[in-house]
């Protein structure tokens, strides 16, 4: 038996593993009678956010149905604990509105007429269309576009097996800017803070209650606090997280880098930085700025130059920019310096995702880690690559030969991920079309900015030939598909997941619990949809079968990647796919399984997770192996290269692996930015965001010297946009909801179903004595939305905020688009590109197989703000900069709650203004993108060059 304490759980209420096959609980609904229920407990992984927490499904042995979900105590990251969204999976799997069978459009696209079809017909249709496109050399017209991935590697492998550059993701409306900042420093695009062992924790977000890996992180932030760590939170909004902090620093949006650089200046000026770490592990010798060239100079001279460079970022300057008191900035800087190598931080969305140049705070934040030597240390900042484990499958297809400019256009050569939010604009401009488009757990019409531009493209069959929405539920986007293909929830599919949640590497196994349960009773299934509700399929089997449908006789070279490693020439099963990985690619797992007389697959089915290693600190100091050194040479600057590529670095006369950057060091000075036309940002800097007060003033025609049009786009107001100018923060999460993913979890919507506009009392006065509940009209650059005010001191003056989780809608009263959470709307295109939406009713009780749908007592569905935002592509990271300069006024007599108006002609014009800020790759014969930058589904190296 595995050690119950192995996962660090000390919960006494979790059933012990040895009782999972027959766990007895009394039926709470039968009270006061004592009715025993017997359960089979089967582990799986939550699919509601990216944290990948472990769940235990309680399958009632009498009914064969899942009765509830709780935490899996054997999961190394979540340790038996879950947030509200974990147990709410029970609502999702029993949602009477969910999609249970593959559906095919029978009327005009977007017309809402559907008929049930078969999986065989789906496979035949897509198989033949994709085969034809591939045979005609139109691979770029096939695109897979993912919202919530919830897996590792399998789709990149599938698309590369098809030989296409067709992977699109939602990342550039999510985290591209943060990733860009981290990549520039150390190649790894995500941070992995060791909160539990930290002495000081700085969060630039509401991370304790929501956000990236927040449940696993929240536990460890509290562990750290219980052990004496202090917590600082930088956020213009008084979140629950900020309310738990020792220091709340409500920065004006977009000024965070100024505050962080002021802290860096304090640490530098007071000589409280870790000289040895900086000297050994930054590329300071490559620095060339302000007339200072480090080559041939001493480290001390470099530090003096750095001090001179950062002299402008005084705490007083930062106070003036941000509103945070200079004294607080100095105090926090000293606390960080005192924590030294035990300084942890987190910055993922928030300021990074909201602002033009949102990657600058990340550069500045990692500078604090570099100064304190807290990179890769116990209690410090680590790299996702050091704490995440992605095993290799049995056979890896070669990288694709082509480069798809619909994904990585030349204007944004440094973009961290695909420029996904520009897809409608690129298609409208004639950059390409789509023959087969798979939107997968993805709802861009609702989740993305500028959703009406998505509708305009998705409804046009000349632009999008065939669209399949792979989704567990109906959605605003699925409405414009040709096929709606039901995919499974957390307990209805296989996936491997690992995340950089803490100082460990682990792997989790999601599994279809009803199939596993029935197989334990001796049933046999060919496919998971035979065991799932309706014909809900899991994607692994769908993609395997689709690949066979594209290449039925293997002549295209595709089928080989989906043949069994155990039974040559036969179609691989999911048991074989994961069984091979567990047997061959997860160090230690076969031995752990053997100790229990289990196969590695059976071990993972039993426990649902496995901890690979906790030896994860300072991996940059790992010595290069003799195989890695074979044929390598040491350059005069200590860089170790092999076949011209850096593979390591000399440090204290040892050949070590270093970081995966060109210098193999932490790049305080980015030669990449110099070479790619952004020399002014080679060092971590601060420049003003598009929502800066200067931008606000300029939008009203007030001259200001704080604006540099090289960086800051013009804000132009549409006709009729009146009222006071504010910065709108539209991206904060509510702890119980997650985008459209939780729209059909009735218990979660009972808890939270409003997204009013947060307004400071000072601003409420300015707006004409606005009170909570009054209707406000918020004008964006392309339209407006109308919602209620919430007057609160929890938001800084000059800033308004609205959570982005609410405002779902459906165009027909009885459409099954998540009726717990959606309003019935009248949607009209009143003129070309001019869209009007008005709510007819809010949420109402309705009849269904679930009696609770008649008990719905709330009527508010919230207001869909995102659809009124234009795209704002950051010129470097490519991130959509979510924050908005808006005008707010009291709603007029004709305005009603939930009203929306958008002009997509204006949104295209805003896109063009932002595109003009970009600095495109040079073209013909030159590189499209730095070769060392990570890229999803990386093509061959030759594809990185423009054709001459
Ligand atoms: S944090 Fe909550 S929603 Fe996210 S995976 Fe964990 S339990 Fe699920």
pLDDT digits (tens, 9 = 90+) for 872-909: 999 999 999 999 999 999 999 999 999 999 999 999 99
Over the stretch 21-55, which tens digit does the pLDDT of each residue have?
A: 999 999 988 999 999 999 999 999 999 999 999 99
Residues 96-116, mean pLDDT to the nearest whole number: 95
pLDDT of residue 7: 47
Name the residue at shortest CA distance from atom 6 of ligand 1. 53
DSSP 342-359: GEEEE-SSHHHHHSTTTT
Q: Which residues contact 269 (CB under 8 A, 6 or more apart)?
A: 307
Mean pLDDT of the residues in the chain: 95
Distance CA 27, CA 41 (A): 16
- Give yes or no for residue 207 CB within 6 A of ligand 1: no
Cis peptide before 794 (omega within 30 of 0): no
Closest Cα partner for 852 from 751, 747, 736, 752? 747
Give the mean pLDDT of 537-561: 97
Count CB-CB contacts under 10 A for residue 783: 26
The tokens for 194 are: 């060791």
Please state the atom number of ligand 1 nearest to the C-alpha of residue 55.
7
497 within ligand 1 shell (Cβ under 6 A): no
Query: What pLDDT score was predicted for residue 398?
Result: 97
Q: Is the CB of 86 under 6 A from ligand 1?
A: yes
- Is residue 382 in contact with ligand 1, taking CB distance under 6 Å? no
Of residues 37 and 148, which shows the higher confidence score? 37
Using most ligand atoms within 8 A of CB, pick from 49, 57, 69, 734 the residue to mutate for ligand 1: 49
pLDDT in tens, 151-163: 888 899 999 999 9
| Integer angstrom CA distances of residue 606 from 386, 397, 509, 530, 593 | 26, 31, 10, 22, 10
| Ligand 1 pocket mutation, candidates 47, 55, 77, 82, criterion most atoms within 8 A of CB | 82
| Residue 678 near residue 184, CB atoms below 8 Å | no
Nearest C-alpha neighbor of 724 from the set 888, 891, 890, 892: 888
Most informative mutation of 83, 210, 216, 741 for ligand 1 (most atoms within 8 A of CB): 83
b (16+ CB within 10 A) / e for 247-273: bbbbbbbbbbbbbbbbbbbbbbeeebb
pLDDT tens digits, residue range 159-202? 999 999 999 999 999 999 999 999 999 999 999 999 999 999 99
Coil, strand or helix at 402: coil
- pLDDT at position 354 is 97
- Residue 817 pLDDT: 82
- Nearest residue (by CA) to ligand 1, atom 2, is 83
Whether ligand 1 lies within 6 angstroms of the CB of 48 is answered as yes
Residues 6+ apart with CB under 8 A from 329: 249, 259, 262, 263, 266, 315, 318, 319
Separation of first and last alpha carbons in the chain: 62
Tally DSSP H helices, then E strands, for the chain: 28, 36
Identify the band that residue 79 occupies on the pLDDT scale cut at 50, 70 and 90.
very high
Q: What b/e sequence results for 547-579 when a residue is b if at least 16 CB atoms lie within 10 Å of its CB, and e otherwise?
A: bbbbbeeeebebbebbbbeeeeeebbbbebbbb
Q: What number does the ligand 1 atom closest to the CA of 86 have?
A: 7
C-alpha 53/C-alpha 87 separation (Å) is 11
Alpha-carbon distance 869 to 902, whole Å? 9
State pLDDT tens for residues 395-434. Answer: 999 999 999 999 999 999 999 999 999 999 999 999 999 9
Pick from 56, 86, 151, 499 the residue to mutate for probing ligand 1's pocket: most ligand atoms within 8 Å of its CB.
Answer: 86
Give pLDDT tens digits for 773-788: 999 999 999 999 999 9
Is there an atom of ligand 1 within 6 Å of 49 CB? yes
Q: Which tens digit of pLDDT belongs to each residue from 237-274?
A: 999 999 999 999 999 999 999 999 999 999 999 999 99
Neighbours of 111 (CB within 10 A): 13
Beta carbon of 499 within 6 Å of any ligand 1 atom: no
Atom of ligand 1 nearest to the CA of 738: 3
Q: Which tokens go with 402?
A: 């082509």
* Predicted pLDDT of residue 814: 86
Atom of ligand 1 nearest to the CA of 83: 2
Residue nearest to atom 1 of ligand 1 (CA): 215
The secondary structure of residue 479, as a DSSP letter, is: G
User: Does 1 score more than 70 pLDDT?
Assistant: no
pLDDT tens digits, one per residue of 495-505:
999 999 999 99
- Cα of 15 vs centre of ligand 1, distance in Å, is 20
Tens digit of pLDDT for each residue in 715-772? 999 999 999 999 999 999 888 988 888 888 999 999 999 999 999 999 999 999 999 9
Q: 886 has which bridge partners?
A: 726
Nearest atom in ligand 1 to 71's CA:
7
Taking the CA of residue 213 as reference, the ligand 1 atom at the shortest distance is 1
Lowest mean pLDDT among 13-17, 320-324, 519-523, 586-590: 13-17
Burial profile 65-99: b = 16 or more Cβ within 10 angstroms, e = fewer: ebebbbbbbbbbbbbbbbbbbbbbbbbbbbbebbb
* Cα of 312 from ligand 1 centre, angstroms: 43
Quote the pLDDT of residue 208.
Answer: 83
Question: Do the beta carbons of residue 71 and residue 86 sit within 8 Å?
Answer: yes
Give pLDDT, residue 12: 59
Give the pTM.
0.96
Residue 598 clears pLDDT 50, i.e. is over it: yes
Which atom of ligand 1 lies nearest, measured to the CA of 51? 5
């Amino acid at each position: 038996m595995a050690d119950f304490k192995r996962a660090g759980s000390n919960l006494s209420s979790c059933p012990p593993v040895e009782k999972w096959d027959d766990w007895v609980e009394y039926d709470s609904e039968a009270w006061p009678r004592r009715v025993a229920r017997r359960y089979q407990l089967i582990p799986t992984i939550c699919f509601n956010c990216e944290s990948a927490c472990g769940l235990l499904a309680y399958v009632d042995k009498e009914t064969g149905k899942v009765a509830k979900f709780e935490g899996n105590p054997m999961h190394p990251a979540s340790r038996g604990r879950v947030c509200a969204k974990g147990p709410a999976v029970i609502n999702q799997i029993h949602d009477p509105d969910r999609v249970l069978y593959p559906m095919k459009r029978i009327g005009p696209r977007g017309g809402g007429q559907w008929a049930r079809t078969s999986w065989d017909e789906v496979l035949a249709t897509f198989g033949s269309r994709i085969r034809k496109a591939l045979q005609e050399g139109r691979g770029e017209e096939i695109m897979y576009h993912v919202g919530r991935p919830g897996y590792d590697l399998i789709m990149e492998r599938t698309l590369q097996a098809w030989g296409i550059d067709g992977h699109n993701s939602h990342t550039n409306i999510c985290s591209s800017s943060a990733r860009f900042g981290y990549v520039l420093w150390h190649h790894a695009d995500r941070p992995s803070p060791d909160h539990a062992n930290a002495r000081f924790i700085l969060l630039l977000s509401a991370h304790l209650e929501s956000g990236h890996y927040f449940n696993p992180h929240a536990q460890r932030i509290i562990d750290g606090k219980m052990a004496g760590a202090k917590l600082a939170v930088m956020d213009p909004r008084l979140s629950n997280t900020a309310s738990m902090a020792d220091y709340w620093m409500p920065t004006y949006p977009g000024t965070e880098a100024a505050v962080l650089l002021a802290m860096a200046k304090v640490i530098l000026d007071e000589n409280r930085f870790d000289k040895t770490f900086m000297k050994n592990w930054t590329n300071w010798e490559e620095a060339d700025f302000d007339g200072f060239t480090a080559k041939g100079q001493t480290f001390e001279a470099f530090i003096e130059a750095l001090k001179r460079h950062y002299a402008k970022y005084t705490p007083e300057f930062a106070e003036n920019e941000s509103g945070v008191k200079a004294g607080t900035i100095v105090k926090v800087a000293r606390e960080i310096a005192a924590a030294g190598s035990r300084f942890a931080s987190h910055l993922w969305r928030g300021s990074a995702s909201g602002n033009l140049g949102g990657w600058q705070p990340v550069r500045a934040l990692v500078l604090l880690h570099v100064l304190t030597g807290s990179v890769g240390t116990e209690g410090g900042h680590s790299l996702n690559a050091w704490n995440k484990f992605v095993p290799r499958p049995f056979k890896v297809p070669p990288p694709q030969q082509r480069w798809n400019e619909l994904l990585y256009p030349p204007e944004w050569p440094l973009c961290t991920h695909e420029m996904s939010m520009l897809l409608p604009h690129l298609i409208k401009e004639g950059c390409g079309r789509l023959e087969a488009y798979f939107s997968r757990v993805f709802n861009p019409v609702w989740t993305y900015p500028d959703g009406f531009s998505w509708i305009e493209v998705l409804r046009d069959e000349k632009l999008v030939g065939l669209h399949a929405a792979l989704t567990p539920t109906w959605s605003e986007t699925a409405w414009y598909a040709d096929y709606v293909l039901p995919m499974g929830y957390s307990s209805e599919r296989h996936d491997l997941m690992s995340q950089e949640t803490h100082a460990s590497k682990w792997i989790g196994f999601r599994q279809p619990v009803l199939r596993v349960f029935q197989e334990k009773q001796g049933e046999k299934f060919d496919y998971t949809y035979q065991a799932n509700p309706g014909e809900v399929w899991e994607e692994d089997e769908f993609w395997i079968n689709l690949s066979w449908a594209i290449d039925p006789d293997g002549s295209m070279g595709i089928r080989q990647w989906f043949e069994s490693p155990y039974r040559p020439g036969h179609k691989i099963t999911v048991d074989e796919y994961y069984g091979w990985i567990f047997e061959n690619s997860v160090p230690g797992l076969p031995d752990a399984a053997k100790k229990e007389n289990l196969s590695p697959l059976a071990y993972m089915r039993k426990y649902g997770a496995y901890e690979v290693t906790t030896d994860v600190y300072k991996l940059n100091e790992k010595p290069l192996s003799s195989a890695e050194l074979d044929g390598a040479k040491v350059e005069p600057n200590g860089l170790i290269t092999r076949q011209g590529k850096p593979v390591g670095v000399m440090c204290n006369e040892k050949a070590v692996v270093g970081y995966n950057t060109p210098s193999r060091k932490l790049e305080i000075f980015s030669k990449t930015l110099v070479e790619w036309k952004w020399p002014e940002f080679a060092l971590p800097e601060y420049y003003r965001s598009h929502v800066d007060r200067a931008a606000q003033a300029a939008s009203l025609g007030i001259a200001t010297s704080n604006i540099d049009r090289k960086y800051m786009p013009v804000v132009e107001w549409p006709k009729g946009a009146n009222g006071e100018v504010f910065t709108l923060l539209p991206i904060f999460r509510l702890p119980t909801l997650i985008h459209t993913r939780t729209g059909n979890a009735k218990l979660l919507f009972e808890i939270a179903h409003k997204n009013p506009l947060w307004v400071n009392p000072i601003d409420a006065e300015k707006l004409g004595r606005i009170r909570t509940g009054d209707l406000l009209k918020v004008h964006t650059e392309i339209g407006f939305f109308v919602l209620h005010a919430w007057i609160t001191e929890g938001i800084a003056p000059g800033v308004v905020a609205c959570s982005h989780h609410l405002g779902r809608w459906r165009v027909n009263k009885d459409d099954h688009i998540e009726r717990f959470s959606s309003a019935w709307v009248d949607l009209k295109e009143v003129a070309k590109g001019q869209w009007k939406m008005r709510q007819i009713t809010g949420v109402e009780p309705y009849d269904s197989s679930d009696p609770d749908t008649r008990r719905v007592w709330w009527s508010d569905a919230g207001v869909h703000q995102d659809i009124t935002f234009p795209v704002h592509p950051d010129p470097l990271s490519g991130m959509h900069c979510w924050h908005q300069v808006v005008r707010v006024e009291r709603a007029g007599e004709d305005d009603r709650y939930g009203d929306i108006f958008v002009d997509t002609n204006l949104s295209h014009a805003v896109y063009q203004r932002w595109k003009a800020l970009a600095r495109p790759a040079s073209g013909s014969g030159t590189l499209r993108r730095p070769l060392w930058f990570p890229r999803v589904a990386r093509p061959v190296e030759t594809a990185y060059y423009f054709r001459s």
